[in-house]
Amino acid sequence: MEYTVLICDDEVLERQVLKSIIESSNLPLKVVGEARNGIEALEQSEKLRPDILLIDIKMPGKDGITAGAEIKKLCPKCKAIFITAYDEFEYVKRALQIGAVEYLLKPARPDEILALLAKTVDELNQERQKKLKEEKLLESIKQAAGMLKSSIMVSLIMGHIEDESVLKSRAKLLGIKEFPSSIMIILPDVGADHSEAELERYEVFRFIENKYLNDDNVFLFFMSEEIVMGLTSAYGSAVSVAEEIRKMIEENLDITVTIGVGEDHKDIKGLFNDARLAAQLGRFYIGSNNVITSNMIQDFLGRLGENKLDKENTLLEYVKMGNYKEALVVMEQILQDIFVLSKGSLVDSQVRICEVMVMVWRTARQVGLIEPENSYIYSNYLQKLTRCQTYAALKNCCEDFLEEVFSKINNFDSSDIIKQAMKYIEENYNEDIKLARLAKEIYISPDYFSRLFKKVAGCTYVEYITKIRIENAKILLTNPIISIAEVAKKTGYSDPNYFSKVFKKTVGMSPTQYKKIHNNP
């Protein structure tokens, strides 16, 4: 890569010498212009845009410092080198203030000039490489823009935002000026167990993607089995856009879709939850091939009293504990409340019961008591619920659902899992074993794991790991050459003082006393 040089000096001989030194060197430099003063240097810089400026300070008309400052504004990346006979601090200071890369005194030897130019070329090369890397990065980002936009949206929806400034920085790289003010969940009207469900979802996604491919105001992506579409405020009413999409799909594809719309929340997560609720419940209770808003669903759901909410929380606790008998009692109480609150509306009762079934199912899944292959239970009972025409049928459907969920829970071998956890603790007691991490490893919630552990082991998780660590510490303390600090570290305690407190509380004496007793002949 060749770089251009502009030489500015009021002495012809000086210009010729500098030009001769540059042209006879092996450096990738080309002299593209010469100027006799600062005014000419500024004019030529505007025309030639040089990479390097060699300029004298004392010149008639406009001095080098003034011209250099103006040229730097015109060509910010130009490297200015001042060569002058004046060795005064004030000149050096002013030159550095305008961004000079170097300052040489006349008469400068050719080897000094070449060394300085070589250094400047190296800096230009580094800057060029950095620019190329940035351009490649931006190109890669542009190519992956759809995926990155999706990841930002998923972070907002899931609430996984550690640093808002990082999120804004990513958005800026993608040219995102505004986040969605409304969200749609688009569900093809096919059963979950339909053999071509996944293919039809993809066909709908591609159809919408082709229409809005280059629209910066649209965020479109898959999230699990849902097609998520976000719209900025530029689109105005999301309901009209959703209706347009619904009609286009019905006319162009052999598929219909139900679209849930969320547009009354300030945050993305709230918009998503409203749209999802509208799509999932609306399809059952308003009908498929419709555009359904969160407000339409809220008309069905109504407000549940605090008493009912307390009972629901109690029911979920019994689900977590696997207590079917007590769960059934609470479920019957909740059903009675629902029938009263529904004021004779069978549809309203269906919606409220559906909500309870959803909570029970999610709780059982979250604590790891229901395997993914049993997902058919949930969808089957939701369909049965829509066919119930009497309160008695609704009650039977809900109780049958609860019984089948617990039949899967009761097949859950909790003792075997806890025994595996106990074995893991015994083999890794010297590490920092967190309850949450251990629970995650065996795919159940920390709360449920804690309860199961106490039930099977007869003590809490913390008591058990402390017991294992102290027993091993007692063995290590009988070795006279191992210090107490080393024993603490080998048994999972990073702080020797804390180890000493735990040891004394558990054994009844300090590690020092124990070591002294067991190391005396």
More confident: 271 or 281: 271
pLDDT tens figures, 440-483: 666 555 666 777 788 788 888 888 889 999 999 898 988 888 89
Mean pLDDT for all residues in the chain: 80
| Cβ within 8 Å of residue 71, ≥6 positions away | 41, 42, 45, 53, 78, 80
46-55, 61-70, 381-390, 511-520, range with greatest mean pLDDT? 46-55
- Which CATH superfamily includes the segment(s) 181-301? Reverse transcriptase/Diguanylate cyclase domain (3.30.70.270)
What pLDDT shows up at residue 306?
47
What class does CATH assign to 414-519?
mainly alpha
- pLDDT-derived band at 189 (thresholds 50, 70, 90) equals confident
Report the C-alpha gap between 298 and 408 in whole angstroms: 32
Report the C-alpha gap between 285 and 279 in whole angstroms: 10
Does residue 384 contact residue 337 with C-beta atoms inside 8 Å? no
C-alpha distances out from residue 203 to 153, 190, 200, 453, Å = 22, 13, 5, 47
Query: With a threshold of 0.85, does the pTM exceed it?
Result: no
φ, ψ of residue 183 in degrees (nearest 5) = -135, 140
Report the C-alpha gap between 278 and 282 in whole angstroms: 5
| Cβ within 8 Å of residue 54, ≥6 positions away | 5, 6, 7, 8, 9, 18, 81, 83
Q: How many CA atoms lie within 13 A of 506 on its CB side?
A: 21
DSSP conformation class of 304: -
Query: CATH fold of 3-139, please?
Result: Rossmann fold (3.40.50)
3-state class (DSSP) for residue 243: helix
**105: part of which helix (H) or strand (E)?**
strand 100-105
